[in-house]
Amino acid sequence: MQDQPGASHQTTRESRVGQPSKRSEIPSFMVMDVMSAAAKAEAEGRHIIHMEVGQPGTPAPESARAALAANLNNEKLGYTLALGMPELRQRIAQLYGEWYDVDLSANRIVVTNGSSAAFILAFLTLFEAGDTVALPSPGYPCYRHILSALGQKSRLLETGPATRWMPTLEQLEQCSGEIAGALIASPNNPTGTMLEPERLSAIAQFCNEQDIWFISDEIYHGLTFGQPAETALRYSDNAVIINSFSKYFSMTGWRVGWMVVPEALVANAERLAQNLFICAPAPSQLAALAAFEGTDELDRNRAVYAANRELLLSELPRVGFPEIVPADGAFYIYADVSAHTNNSLEFTVQMLAETGIAATSGVDFDEARGNRFVRFSYSGRTADVKDAITRLEAWQRLKT
């Protein structure tokens, strides 16, 4: 008796039903895993010091919270335009004149659901499936995870003390034939290091000349502790800028970010935003617009981060962490822990269990060398940073 048509196919083909797609099999964002472990410890009654996540310990500006409260009954809190509320786009464009003396058209602003959505829109707007994008290592892990989920590839540019923990023009020159784009954050996460204006200019101009898309992640602008950060827009109109209200504006959970794209890409980004996200949340956009009125409050927040930074830079070496990457901006200390361990992931688990300090293993940011590093966030209260130093000192005393 002959098999029924298609019968052999049904018995040999691997079943898809109940199986995840290959593109969904990306690594975890370990910071969120540490947050979960810390929350579990807190639920058990422990006092946890949160140094694992890049989240300001301060609320959104009072002006933003007041705007939200005033508009809760607004009948117009529905969909906005996919590119964002026109008045918010105009105010963001104005910021570039205030911070960088750059004249920017509001037409080039795309308001997004946090910077995370901006990366998705940027990668889909700029790159084909299979394209390769150069990324710094160590660097924000979600860059490579999102690229992988979209069917794109990463080319890691290894940084270290010799390059002041930032990519160089020479590294881009060496891989220019294989990449379609380069993404650099300055200040960087997790190192807090920055590109000098001269290096940023050279990289932006090189990418423009070599037909390579340059994406500048400027999410930590406003949070620098020496020279101010410079926008890539000063050096290239073709650069794509990504920023957010999460860090300087202290609005992580509100999920509002933005992109600056060349005029020629606005329609493409708009169509993608329409289909993928419709729009950023209307209440959050109204609050973001009002947040610009809270700069005095936000600058006071930055003064707290600056104090926390100075405290850690002076005290961490004393309590057993002498090797620290230069911390120019953002709110992170990237510390070499190889004197204590060759497994920073296990080290952070032990530290949480024994001291109540939650921090993030460098493996999240650098799979090859991160086993030697731990990232401490100093975006919380100064009292907690002082408590963390006391706990680390006692812990190291016990270990020796």
Q: SS3 of 8, please? A: helix
pLDDT tens, position by position, 144-195:
999 999 999 999 999 999 999 999 999 999 999 999 999 999 999 999 999 9
pLDDT at 400: 66
pLDDT tens, position by position, 380-395:
999 999 999 999 999 9
Paired tokens of 72: 């809760």
- Tokens 């797609």 label which residue? 21
Q: SS3 of 182, please? A: strand
Tell me which of 12-26, 38-52, 266-280, 343-357 is least confident: 12-26
Q: Which residue has the higher pLDDT, 21 or 276?
A: 276
In the predicted model, what is the mean pLDDT of residues 31-60? Answer: 86
pLDDT at 365 > cutoff 70? yes
Nearest-angstrom CA–CA distance, 305 and 307 = 5
Answer for the pair 132, 150: CB distance below 8 angstroms, yes or no: no
Measured from the Cβ of residue 303, the count of other Cβ atoms closer than 10 Å reads 10
Q: Which residue has the higher pLDDT, 260 or 43?
A: 260
- The CA distances from residue 3 to 6, 15, 266, in Å, are 8, 20, 55
pLDDT at 38: 82
Answer for the pair 309, 327: CB distance below 8 angstroms, yes or no: yes
pLDDT at 30 > cutoff 90? no
pLDDT at 1: 46
Tell me which of 33-37, 65-69, 187-191 is least confident: 33-37
pLDDT tens, position by position, 299-338:
999 999 999 999 999 999 999 999 999 999 999 999 999 9
Q: Provide, rounded to the nearest whole percent, the portion of the chain with pLDDT above 70.
A: 96
Answer for the pair 348, 50: CB distance below 8 angstroms, yes or no: no
Sign of CA dihedral 281, 282, 287, 288: positive
On average, the pLDDT of the chain sits at 93
Nearest-angstrom CA–CA distance, 369 and 224 = 26
Nearest-angstrom CA–CA distance, 273 and 288 = 19
Paired tokens of 13: 């083909």
Nearest-angstrom CA–CA distance, 397 and 124 = 51
pLDDT at 339 > cutoff 70? yes
Tell me which of 2-6, 74-78, 111-115, 269-273 is least confident: 2-6
- Preceding peptide of 187 cis, ω within 30°: yes
pLDDT tens, position by position, 100-118:
999 999 999 999 999 999 9
Q: Which of 308, 296, 319 is nearest to 381 (CA)?
A: 308
pLDDT confidence bin for 399, thresholds 50/70/90 = confident
Q: Provide, rounded to the nearest whole percent, the portion of the chain with pLDDT above 90.
A: 83
Going from the N-terminus, what domains does the chain have, and what CATH number goes with each? Answer: 23-59+296-399 (3.40.640.10), 62-292 (3.40.640.10)
pLDDT at 280: 97
**β-strand 153-158 against 132-137: which pairing, if any?**
parallel
Residues ≥6 apart with Cβ < 8 Å to 58: 250, 301, 304
Decide: pTM greater than 0.75.
Answer: yes
**β-strand 323-324 against 257-260: which pairing, if any?**
unpaired
Distance, first Cα to last Cα, the chain: 78
